[in-house]
């Protein structure tokens, strides 16, 4: 939950809400780090290789999540932002370019 009203938001961008109140920034960072570490561990177990790319669920992310993904060994992330990517871009937030029939 994102707030006392029961709204839900993407977990990676929102401090969680419980009857005890909002999670602290330290708890938020620890939760996201644990999620990234667990995902990377499972992928490493299954494939023998550590992931280097993360696709943001719902396209939602923030700078804290970007920093934590990079620290977890995933410096490249895919967003839902539309647009062209340039060779000079860092790759930390890769945009999408939709190809349609008339493209």
**pTM score, two decimals?**
0.82
Per run of 10 residues, the mean pLDDT along the chain (length 103 residues) is 78 89 95 96 96 93 96 95 91 87 70
Residues 6+ apart with CB under 8 A from 66: 77, 92, 93
| Per-residue pLDDT, 50 | 95
DSSP 23: P
CA separation for the pair 54, 94 (Å, rounded): 10
What is the Cα Rg of the chain in Å? 16
Q: Which residue has the tokens 């860092």?
A: 90
| Per-residue pLDDT, 7 | 79
| Per-residue pLDDT, 103 | 57
């Amino acid at each position: 939950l994102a707030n006392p009203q029961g709204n839900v938001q993407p977990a990676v961008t929102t401090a969680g809400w419980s009857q005890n109140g909002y999670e602290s920034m330290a708890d938020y960072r620890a939760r996201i780090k644990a999620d990234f570490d667990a995902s990377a561990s499972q992928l490493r177990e299954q494939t023998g290789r550590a992931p280097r790319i993360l696709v943001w669920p719902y396209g939602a992310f923030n700078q804290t999540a970007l920093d934590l993904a990079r620290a977890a060994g995933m410096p490249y992330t895919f967003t839902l932002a539309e647009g062209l990517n340039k060779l000079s871009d860092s790759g930390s937030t890769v945009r999408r370019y939709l190809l349609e029939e008339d493209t």
